[in-house]
Structure 1
Amino acid sequence: MLRVLFAGTPEAAVPSLRMLAKDSEHFEVVAVLTRPDAPTGRGRKITPSPVKLAAQELGLNVIECDPSDECFLSALKATGAQCAAVVAYGQILKESVLEALPLGWYNLHFSLLPQWRGAAPVQRAIWAGDEVTGASVFRITKGMDRGPVLAQSTVTIGAHENAGELLGRLAEDGAGLLAASLQALDEGVINAVDQPEGSYEVADKITQDDAHLRFDVPAFAIDRQIRACTPNPGAWANLHPNADETSETLHVSKAIPADMTDDQAPQRLNPGELLVTKHHVWVGTATDPLELLIVKAAGKREMGAPEWARGAHLAQGAYCD
């Protein structure tokens, strides 16, 4: 039986933790390492991470010591772990920590390495228009996501799938890949393969500024941006509801390029120009219009775009930028 330390923080890491903990024939999860409790939500209430909550539910020991602290190595050795399984832990580990476990540290990364190394591989794959992505299990080394790969699996990205939906699928699929890889490692029937050298796209974290929608680009590009930024940090635009100088923030959670075979769809709108009918809200782009489907105005709940438009008191000439 392989003694495993699990390290992870967000909801995407929970399926892997649960799968390893459930498979008591092959694994013993000796401890769980996660990020400290942090403020969340509008009330900024101090809340444990999803992984910590899952670990407590499973009756697993949670290590509170930070890996950068001197106390961590002794706490790690006391667990008796042979290796570590890492899923979106969110902290860089020192070389001394990586060398402390006899079989090493292994990360489940949500891309087909070496493509999309970095913090936001799922979001960046959608934004780039990739049709296929996947998950990789690799041994953690000093370089960012550059260690040798044990296994990979692929999935097709849905035409209208957002980052949250795709990450949820990859988290479930990746849990099985991680467990199978660690079992094969313990049985000595798998070899890690070095990643090929070359220049590859890096998946930088998406910021609030990145999520600001521009409408002077093609509709397909805006659609990708919205899907990549949903649910976090959330795509948004400045809404100008009338002729005065004031504007307000409008979040867009879902939109699709307009069906130009539909007689109701406008043939052309200026970039950012809004057109509202009883059942549709369109916004102009550099190409065909984009139909807004789900939006959230400041201080309001998320709702269908036509419902929002009925209460938004939009004047003729309203636009977004």
Structure 2
Amino acid sequence: MKIIFAGTPEVAIPTLDALNARHEVVGVITRPDAPLGRKRILTPSSVAQRATQLGLPIHKTSRFTSETSDFISQSGAELGVVVAYGALIPESDLASVTHGWINLHFSQLPQWRGAAPLQRTIMSGATEVGLSIFTLVAELDAGPVLESMSVPLGATETAGEALTRLASVGSHEVVRVVEALESATATSTEQVGQVSFAGKLTANDGRLEPKDTARSAFNIFRGVTPEPGAWIDSTSGRVKVLVCAMAEDGSVSSGTLLASPDSVLIGFTDGALSLITVQPAGKVVMPAQDWARGLQRESWRFS
């Protein structure tokens, strides 16, 4: 089947590769080059880089335009496949290919429609995450579901780790659905149940506060790692939390950072987390104990 693929981050690459191995990918739509790093160098998206390696036609755009419509039309695509493209597809373009468009979404719809489903799932404290492959319609993430499954989450698994794992699982499911569509054996069901939404994450979503329980704070950390990242606002300044764990010793009062020769603990309402790797504002990444030693304090506060 001739397929046009829309995706942007690295998590979309396994599906692109799987489709390219079994079908004819006639075009790739991805977001424009973006400034990265301290020097803000314009860099192609992960999908753009992979598509270039595969020798596939590429169209870069932050939203669908008349040029995008022409690209789709001229490609001769029979089906569109989306994985984390990052923008809505107009209804006119959804109807422009024979078999429509399908999307790989990291939740069991209708739960967690929106931009950050897996991240919000982890932050909610869930122990499983879903995968859905559904037909795109005009309403956000509301189309009929072609495939749905639930996958266990590791107790300490971060969003980045889970996305890497589930991107591989999902790529195989997408190929299976595409082949069912090609053979006219695919079946779909309308979404039923309580709808919830997973809005795009912001920096504030990563803030760990004394009012949190230790488990809730750990789930927030897991959900926002690696992006946009977890952080605390301490009396020594803002500090990114890059690696942490549930602490066995929970005897740290809420809002307190407690340093010892063996650990740096941060207290919440019912327990503590152990800080392992941090990045103080304006400084390099370092072990939490090195940070604490540099402050020459045994105890200080965060808010």
TM over 0.5: yes
What corresponds to 2:43 in structure 1?
A: 47
Inter-partner Cα distance in structure 2 for 1:232 and 1:201: 22
1:74 is matched with which residue? 70
C-alpha deviation, 1:161, in angstroms:
0.6
Say whether the 8 Å CA contact 1:134–1:170 is kept in structure 2: no
Other-structure match for 2:290? 307
Structural mapping, 1:5-16, within 5 Å: 5-16=4-15
Could you tell me which residue of structure 1 aligns to residue 17 of structure 2?
18
Preserved CA contact (<8 Å) 2:145 2:190: yes
Give how far 1:255 is off: 2.1
- Could you say which residue in structure 2 is the equivalent of 1:240? 235
- Give 2:102's aligned residue: 106
Q: Residue 182 of structure 1: which of 159, 169, 178 is its match?
A: 178
Q: 1:316 Cα deviation (Å)?
A: 4.6
What is the CA–CA distance in structure 1 between the aligned matches of 2:67 and 2:48, rounded to whole Å?
Answer: 20
Shift of 1:155: 1.2
User: Could you tell me how far apart the structure 2 residues matched to 1:80 and 1:314 are?
Assistant: 66
Work out whether 1:202 is the aligned partner of 2:197.
yes
Q: Which residue of 1 aligns with 2:31?
A: 35
Q: Work out the CA distance in 2 between the residues paired with 1:288 and 1:120.
A: 28
What corresponds to 1:272 in structure 2? Answer: 255
Please state how far the C-alpha of 1:310 moved relative to its aligned partner: 2.2
Are the equivalent residues in 2 in contact too, given 1:153–1:177 (CA < 8 A)?
Answer: no
Structure-2 separation of matches of 1:293 and 1:88: 31
2:259–2:297: 8 Å Cα contact kept in structure 1? no
1:319–1:203 distance in 2 versus 1, CA, 3 Å: same
For the residue of structure 2 that corresponds to 1:318, the secondary structure is strand
Alpha-carbon distance between aligned partners in 2 of 1:177 and 1:222, rounded to the nearest angstrom: 33
Instruction: Please give the per-residue CA displacement for 1:72-129, whole angstroms capped at 9, x wherever unaligned.
Output: 2222111110011100001111111111111100000011111111100111010001
> Which structure has the larger Rg?
1
Counterpart residue identity of residue 135, structure 2 = R
The residue that corresponds to 1:218 in the other structure is 213
Q: Does 1:85 align with 2:81?
A: yes
Per the alignment, residue 245 of structure 2 pairs with: 256
How far, CA to CA, are the matches of 2:155 and 2:64 in structure 1? 42
Counterpart residue identity of residue 290, structure 2: E
The reply on whether 1:159 has 2:142 as its aligned counterpart is: no
* Structure 2 letter corresponding to 1:222: A
What is the aligned-residue RMSD (CA, Å)?
1.5
Offset at residue 304 of structure 1 (A): 2.6
What is the deviation of 1:139? 0.4
Q: In the alignment, what sits opposite 1:120?
A: 116
Q: 1:303 to 1:153 in 2, by over 3 A?
A: farther
Using the alignment, how far apart are the partners of 2:302 and 2:62 within structure 1?
A: 45
Say whether the 8 Å CA contact 2:215–2:246 is kept in structure 1: yes
Give deviations 1:17-65, integer Å, cap 9, x for gaps. 0111122xxx100111111111122221111000000000001111246
Percent of aligned positions with the same letter in both sequences? 39
Are the aligned partners of 2:110 and 2:194 in contact in 1 as well (CA < 8 Å)?
A: no
Task: State the AA in 2 paired with 1:62.
Answer: I
- The answer as to whether partners of 2:62 and 2:87 remain within 8 angstroms in 1 is no
Asked whether 1:4 is paired with 2:3, we answer yes
Shift of 1:134: 2.3
- 3-state DSSP of counterpart to 1:255: strand
User: Where in structure 2 are there 5+ consecutive unaligned residues?
Assistant: none
In structure 1, C-alpha distance between the alignment counterparts of 2:7 and 2:155, rounded to whole Å: 29
User: Quick check: 1:66–1:72 contact (8 Å CA) kept in 2?
Assistant: no
Q: Which moved more, 1:272-281 or 1:301-310?
A: 301-310
Measure, in 2, the Cα distance between the counterparts of 1:128 and 1:276.
29
Displacement of 1:70: 1.9
Q: Which residue of 2 aligns with 1:142?
A: 138
Worse-superposed segment, 206-215 or 64-73? 64-73
Whole-angstrom CA distance in 2 between matches of 1:316 and 1:310? 9
| Paired residue secondary structure (1:124) | helix
User: Per the alignment, in what secondary structure is the counterpart of residue 142 of structure 1?
Assistant: coil
Deviations 1:108-160 (A, max 9, x none): 00111111111001110100011111211100001110100111232101100
Q: Is 2:302 the partner of 1:320?
A: yes
Distance 1:31 1:250 in 2: 43
Contact 2:134 2:145 in 1 (8 A): yes
> Residue 129 of structure 1 contacts residue 224 of structure 1 at CA under 8 Å; is this kept in 2?
yes
Q: Which amino acid aligns with 1:19?
A: A
Cα shift at 1:319: 1.5
Q: Return the alpha-carbon distance in structure 2 between the equivalents of residues 317 and 306 of structure 1.
A: 12
